[in-house]
Chains A and B, each alone.
Chain A
Amino acid sequence: MDLTSNISLGLATSLQPLNLLMLLAGTVVGILVGALPGISGPMVIALFIPLSYTLDIIPALMFMTAVYCGSVYGGSITAILFKIPGDPGNAATCFDGYPMARKGLGSKALGVSAATAAIGGLFSSLVLLLLTPLLANVALQFGPAEYFAVTLLGMAAVTTLGAKSQAKASISCIVGLLLATVGTDEVTGAVRFSFGSTYLNDPIPMTAALIGLFAMAEVFDNVSGTSEGSAGLKGAQTILPSLKELWGLRGVIAKSSLIGTWIGIMPATGATVATFLAYAEAVRSSKHPEKFGTGVIEGVVAPEAAGNAAVGGSYVPMLALGIPGSASAAIILGAFTLHGLRPGPLLFQQQTKLAYAVIMGMFIANLMFLVGGVLSTRYLAKVLETPPSLLMPAVVMLCVVGSYGMNNSMADVWFTMGLGVIGYLLISKAGYSVGALVLGFVLGGMMESNFRRAILMEGDFVSGILLRPISGTLVVLAVALALSPWLRQVWRRVTHAPEDVEVAPVEQ
């Protein structure tokens, strides 16, 4: 089938009543959880995985995609009105969004945020639609060596780009990879790190692990910094900008959408990195950089367009190669595997309807949150008044039900609790990266099996991986990327150039 037929098929599928309903529900939930500080999109997507098992895969993916899109946008509402980013990806929106609100331009900031987030999201959906099938066709030529090398490049990217500490991000990634080795080795049947427990004879259940690392860890984090809700949203509304106003911002929108899509495509970097890079670029290229931080509209446009563009971007490697472009995409990848599907090049051949339905669903979700954003702002006030002291215990309850309900197994609950504590200590207290850890865990099995198969086919690492043109190039790129911070330092010393000034802290 050609692209037009595939688009029609995808559109018809995503417009089916149940799928449309799931997109709508996902958008509403996404905006809500995005706006609620302490509850993030990945957390809710992780909690939804067990429930997705009771649904068909397409409606489940529609819901998760819409939650992802809505949550990245929804965080801007609290970022603009209260200087509290509902989602880490909206932290950069606070810089100018909040000063705008203080000047009495809150409604305008909210409108520009909704419109440009939707434009960024639609742009990246278009890239997703056009680029993913091409990338998938290239990936059909890939063997184990190439898959191993692509995964390695992803790991190098997540530990280098946007990470506060490369060493800590690398450790997080390795911890994730190690968690994926627990249980029976699928190649030889050998049992690894079971310590005599029958629970550990099987691999760590993905759902329980994701709920623990995202939801439980975040609850503990919220307990440590308890703040009693927010107030003051009364009277706020979203006023969309005119086309003329948007045309005047076309440069920032285009650049930020491109940055967001590109960063989204890089494995596991996600919206947060994209928003800060787009903001930094908007400051750099502005004629009045000194005005940023005082409430300029470009300071809202850049992070919002980039943040939502990163969502579509993160789906490109996930659908084409089976490698997620962000933490949320990694969790959604987990949902694919639970339903017995493996995203990758064959998805477009064997599951054409599903692949294009997801892509077209993303287009619709971006339009939905634009409408939802305009309509929902005033109603959000009520929900935002729910104090964390009631919200967080309810999340603990959902974590337990979510992990128990998957297999009706207490072992899964213990995994959730254990990984929640590990996640909290490593990530919140010691500054390690949850994105890198999850990427390592989700891709660990695939990376190891491809590594071993590549060596088994050719006999050793050099001829099995390094001497093959694609995998060899990718491994060299991965090493270069991993070494790039050191190489930059050496270059600065040689040329006596000044150190980079950090624009803002970036949390993945």
Chain B
Amino acid sequence: MRDRISGVVLLAVAVFLYTQTFDIRTPGRARGVGPEVWPQMLLIALAALSVWIIVNSFRGQKAKNEPPLKLSADDLRVGIAILLSLLYAFTLESVGYLVSTAIIVACLAALMGQTNRVTLVAVPVALSVVSGMLFLRMGVLLPHGEGIFRSLSVMVLGG
């Protein structure tokens, strides 16, 4: 079932991207192979292989014995981890590295089974502060955030 789904998604992506290659405009007059030819070749190969994967997923013993695809607790946990990571990226500039790192690290640790409350507070805060100081000293311009978060970050990590 997974092969079938991945094959269909990849085929759809290949077809969609192939239609996008018609919009590739060459500034001036191109000599030789145009900029759209290489991606088109790749997309044709991708589409053909995706069809192969889809067809194969219906063939053989494996297809007959395959259990239906169900979402497990693990899948749910990964889904939450992905959302938390995206939230981390989304809040990094507005909330700042210091606070967003501490919160997201604590949430991810809890998600992965850490239950000790002291650990859940102390480790993320320590990690955020120590790594923030270290990276700033190394010249990485970590975002301080806005408003109150900025004031807090500058106070803890320094300018």
Contact = CB atoms under 8 A, between A and B. Distances in A.
Contacts of B33: 451-452, 455-456
A367 to B, nearest CB: 30
A51 interface: yes
B15 interface: no
A195 B10 CA distance: 18
A413 interface: yes
B114 A389 contact: yes
B156 interface: no
A389 B43 CA distance: 40
Contacts of A54: 138-139
A192 B25 CA distance: 9
B6 interface: yes
A396 B108 CA distance: 9
A432 B6 contact: yes
B118 to A, nearest CB: 13
Contacts of A181: 38-39, 42
B138 A393 contact: no
Contacts of B154: none
Given A54-B139, A455-B32, A429 B2 contact: yes
Contact of B88 (A51, A392, A396, A431): A396
A148 to B, nearest CB: 11
B105 A397 contact: yes
Contacts of A191: 24-25
B34 interface: yes
B46 interface: yes
A29 to B, nearest CB: 16
B10 A171 contact: yes
* Interface SS of chain A: helix
A220 B88 contact: no
A220 B86 CA distance: 12
Contact of A226 (B6, B89, B113, B138): B113
Interface stretch (A14-22, A182-190, A323-331, A488-496): A182-190
A76 B56 CA distance: 37
A257 interface: no
A219 B2 CA distance: 21
The 8 closest A-B pairs by CB, nearest first: A456-B32, A405-B140, A389-B112, A393-B108, A389-B114, A185-B35, A430-B6, A190-B35
19 contacts: A167-B52, A168-B53, A171-B46, A178-B39, A178-B42, A193-B20, A216-B85, A223-B74, A387-B113, A387-B114, A390-B109, A396-B108, A401-B97, A404-B142, A405-B141, A410-B93, A414-B89, A448-B38, A455-B32
Given A390-B114, A390-B123, A401-B140, 11 more contacts: A54-B139, A171-B53, A175-B10, A188-B35, A193-B39, A219-B85, A223-B77, A223-B112, A396-B108, A404-B142, A432-B6
Interface of B: 2-3, 5-6, 10, 17, 20-21, 24-28, 30-36, 38-39, 42-43, 45-46, 49-50, 52-53, 56, 74-75, 77-78, 81-82, 85-86, 88-89, 92-93, 97, 101, 104-106, 108-114, 119, 123-124, 127-128, 131, 135, 138-143
